């Protein structure tokens, strides 16, 4: 028996083939009654849309690839929500992958996206080298979020990471802290800007001799390891600015495990204002990035590029300090 076609569904539902196509793409501009009729007809006939055939016929896949740096970090779930909200308005679907914070894994994921002939690709805080990004952008529209690039082929949306770091140091210094250490994010996107912002603020506030940068990564385990080195070494800090919330949670677990009070013994500041920072069990002072808005702006820039707009589009959003219970004055 031949597989049912879109024409069969249209005939059974009493609508046009074009309207069936809109329903299958999830487009919003279809009445509930007609959407129901099409879905019921498709179910009765056992029809499933052939995405690959549609892509080849229309030269559009109606799909965008999204490469997320780390699926364990809730920061990216909130970026994704913003991306998806705009994609859904346009009847587009998102295909998600990750490279596990490894350049080789990210290159492989991008190659898969290119092989699928997707309409565009979003790179979220990736560690891909600039040459690989430029090569991908020569084949398909590319937009980056939480990382910028000099390429005119690539659109980008970032938060001002350097200014965010300055806000963290200014807050801690304003509470009276002097020995303020920074647990950095290694080669993660935005880590270098946060590191330089920390150094810049420490120098401006006359705290140059207290500058201390502890190597880390944007992971809970790395934050824990860095915090342990800091508090068990000589002249431990009274405050830590950690490069992201996930690493800050790792640091918090170590501090509490060492019997230290937060913020009585050590104040702690993260970066992102992700969902974990807002939990009652982890009332973390942090630097807010407007994650949902960043995702929305990134998808809109990508869709504009797909539709032929000249680029590049650059958005730099401003961070905000969010004070919670993990920071306070140092002990006398």
Please check whether residue 147 is in contact with residue 158, taking contact to mean a CB–CB distance below 8 angstroms. yes
Determine the pLDDT at residue 25. 67
Q: Structural domains in the chain?
A: 1-43 (1.10.260.40), 61-160+291-317 (3.40.50.2300), 161-289 (3.40.50.2300)
Determine the pLDDT at residue 2. 58
User: Average pLDDT, stretch 276-287?
Assistant: 91
Determine the pLDDT at residue 56. 39
Closest CA to 104 of 126, 78, 135, 82: 126
The token pair at 165 is 């770091």
CA pair distance 237, 210, nearest whole angstrom: 9
- 330, containing H or E segment: none
CA pair distance 151, 149, nearest whole angstrom: 5
Closest CA to 37 of 53, 20, 22, 17: 20
The token pair at 227 is 């915090």
How far is C-alpha 35 from the geometric centre of its chain's CA atoms?
33
Question: If pLDDT is split at 50, 70 and 90, which confidence band does 26 have?
Answer: low
* Confidence (pTM): 0.79
Determine the pLDDT at residue 248. 97
Sequence length of the chain is 332
* Mean pLDDT rounded to a whole number for the chain: 90
- pLDDT tens for residues 188-242? 889 999 999 999 999 999 999 999 999 999 999 999 999 999 999 889 999 999 9
- pLDDT tens for residues 260-272? 999 999 999 999 9
Describe the chain by its helix, strand, coil percentages, rounded to 5. 45, 15, 40
User: Average pLDDT, stretch 18-44?
Assistant: 82
User: Average pLDDT, stretch 60-64?
Assistant: 79
Residue 75 CB-density burial (10 A; 0-12 exposed, 13-18 middle, 19+ buried): buried
Residue 317 CB-density burial (10 A; 0-12 exposed, 13-18 middle, 19+ buried): middle
Question: If pLDDT is split at 50, 70 and 90, which confidence band does 311 have?
Answer: confident
Most confident of 18-27, 65-74, 252-261: 252-261
Question: If pLDDT is split at 50, 70 and 90, which confidence band does 284 have?
Answer: very high
- Residue with the bigger pLDDT between 66 and 62: it is 66
Query: Strand, helix or coil at 326?
Result: coil
Going 157 to 317 to 74 to 89, the CA torsion angle's sign is: negative
HEC assignment per residue over 163-201: HHHHHHHHHHHHCCCCCEEEECCCCCCCHHHHHHHHHHH
Q: Inform me whether the pLDDT recorded for 48 exceeds 80.
A: no
- Residue with the bigger pLDDT between 70 and 323: it is 323
Determine the pLDDT at residue 252. 97
Q: Inform me whether the pLDDT recorded for 51 exceeds 80.
A: no
Percent of the chain with pLDDT over 70: 94
Q: What is the dihedral of CA 136, 138, 144, 147, to 10 degrees?
A: 80
CA pair distance 197, 160, nearest whole angstrom: 10
Question: If pLDDT is split at 50, 70 and 90, which confidence band does 332 have?
Answer: confident
Please check whether residue 121 is in contact with residue 141, taking contact to mean a CB–CB distance below 8 angstroms. yes
Please check whether residue 243 is in contact with residue 43, taking contact to mean a CB–CB distance below 8 angstroms. no
Q: Inform me whether the pLDDT recorded for 39 exceeds 50.
A: yes
Q: Each residue of 273-296: b (16+ CB within 10 Å) or e?
A: bbebbeeeebebbbbbbbbeebbb
Going 126 to 131 to 136 to 142, the CA torsion angle's sign is: positive
Percent of the chain with pLDDT over 90: 65
User: Average pLDDT, stretch 170-177?
Assistant: 98
Determine the pLDDT at residue 61. 65
Residue 150: CB atoms within 10 Å: 9
Determine the pLDDT at residue 49. 63
User: Average pLDDT, stretch 6-18?
Assistant: 87
């Amino acid at each position: 028996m031949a597989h049912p076609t879109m024409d069969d569904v249209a005939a059974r539902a009493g609508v046009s083939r074009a309207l069936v196509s809109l329903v299958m793409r999830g487009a919003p501009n279809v009445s509930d009654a007609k959407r129901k009729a099409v879905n019921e007809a498709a179910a009765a006939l056992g029809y499933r849309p052939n995405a690959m055939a549609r892509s080849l016929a229309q030269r559009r896949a109606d799909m965008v690839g999204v490469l997320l740096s780390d699926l364990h970090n809730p920061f990216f779930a909130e970026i994704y929500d913003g991306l998806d909200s705009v994609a859904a308005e346009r009847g587009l679907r998102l295909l998600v992958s990750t490279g596990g914070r490894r350049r080789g894994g990210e290159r492989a994921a991008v190659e898969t996206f290119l092989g699928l002939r997707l309409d565009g690709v979003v790179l979220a805080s990736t560690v891909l080298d600039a040459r690989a990004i430029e090569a991908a952008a020569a084949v398909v529209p590319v937009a980056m979020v939480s990382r910028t690039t000099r390429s005119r082929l690539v659109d980008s949306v970032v938060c001002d990471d350097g200014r965010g770091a300055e806000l963290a140091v200014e807050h801690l210094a304003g509470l009276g802290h002097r020995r303020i250490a920074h647990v950095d994010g290694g080669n993660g996107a935005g880590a270098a800007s946060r590191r330089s912002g920390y150094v810049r603020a420490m120098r401006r506030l006359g705290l140059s001799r207290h500058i201390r940068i502890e190597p880390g990564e944007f992971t809970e385990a790395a934050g824990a390891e860095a915090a342990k080195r800091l508090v068990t070494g000589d002249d431990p800090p009274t405050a830590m600015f950690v490069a992201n919330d996930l690493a800050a949670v790792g640091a918090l677990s170590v501090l509490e495990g060492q019997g230290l009070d937060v913020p009585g013994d050590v104040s702690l500041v993260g970066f992102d204002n992700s969902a974990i920072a807002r939990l009652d069990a982890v009332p973390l002072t942090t630097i807010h990035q407007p994650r949902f808005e960043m995702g929305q702006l990134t998808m809109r820039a990508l869709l504009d590029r797909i539709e032929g707009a000249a680029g590049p589009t650059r958005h730099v959003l401003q961070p905000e300090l969010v004070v919670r219970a993990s920071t306070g004055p140092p002990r006398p």
